């Protein structure tokens, strides 16, 4: 009988009150976007900051040739409002695949999308009027190779003698 009382009086686990957690500052809002051009894919992340733009961990000011750099920054220099938004963000872009030109165009699209996401609809409309490819991905792709030729449309040369 005493054994039954002991088993029925099992010790309940002691619940301890949690120590009051130290309140942390809210994490900065991070924006992620991506853009494609041919086989290039650019992924951009932006956090509030001092206006630094990096492409593959390299400051954009270092990228050569200048034409490629200006292609990447097309979305920033489209209006004064876009410049102001970009000056308040740290944008990191990771781009891979494709060639130099298609990587630059994919990067331009990713940066422009970040600015459009942070800004108002008016900035997005300005970008769409200027160049639709900044906001919408380019749907054109390379046509697949066919038989009877070296490429999609070209045919092997024939010899008659």
Cis peptide upstream of residue 65 (ω within 30 degrees of 0) = yes
Q: What is the pLDDT of residues 24-46, one digit of tens each?
A: 656 678 999 999 998 999 999 99
Mean pLDDT for the stretch of residues 107-128: 92
Q: Where are the strands (E) in the chain, listed by range?
A: 31-37, 40-48, 53-55, 58-59, 89-96
What was the pLDDT predicted at 17? 65
Whether 4 has a pLDDT exceeding 90, the answer reads no
Q: Can you give the residue ranges of every domain in the chain?
A: 40-133
- What's the pLDDT at 119? 87
| 40-133 placed in CATH 3.30.230.10 | yes
Q: How far is CA 32 from the centre of its chain?
A: 5
Read off the DSSP letter of residue 99: -
pLDDT tens figures, 72-83 = 999 999 999 999
């Amino acid at each position: 009988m005493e054994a039954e009382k002991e088993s029925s009086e099992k010790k309940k686990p002691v619940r301890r009150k949690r120590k009051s957690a130290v309140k942390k500052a809210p994490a900065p809002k991070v924006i992620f976007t991506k853009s494609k051009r041919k086989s290039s894919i650019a992924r951009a992340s932006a956090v509030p900051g001092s206006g630094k733009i990096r492409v593959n961990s390299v400051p954009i000011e270092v990228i050569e040739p200048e034409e490629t750099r200006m292609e990447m920054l097309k979305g920033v220099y489209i209006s004064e409002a876009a410049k102001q938004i970009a000056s308040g963000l740290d944008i990191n872009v990771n781009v891979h695949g494709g060639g130099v030109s298609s990587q630059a165009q994919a990067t331009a699209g990713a940066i422009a999308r970040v600015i459009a996401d942070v800004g108002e609809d008016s900035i997005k409309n300005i970008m769409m009027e200027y160049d639709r490819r900044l906001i919408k991905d380019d749907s054109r792709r390379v046509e697949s190779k066919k038989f009877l030729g070296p490429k999609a449309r070209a045919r092997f040369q024939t010899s008659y003698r």
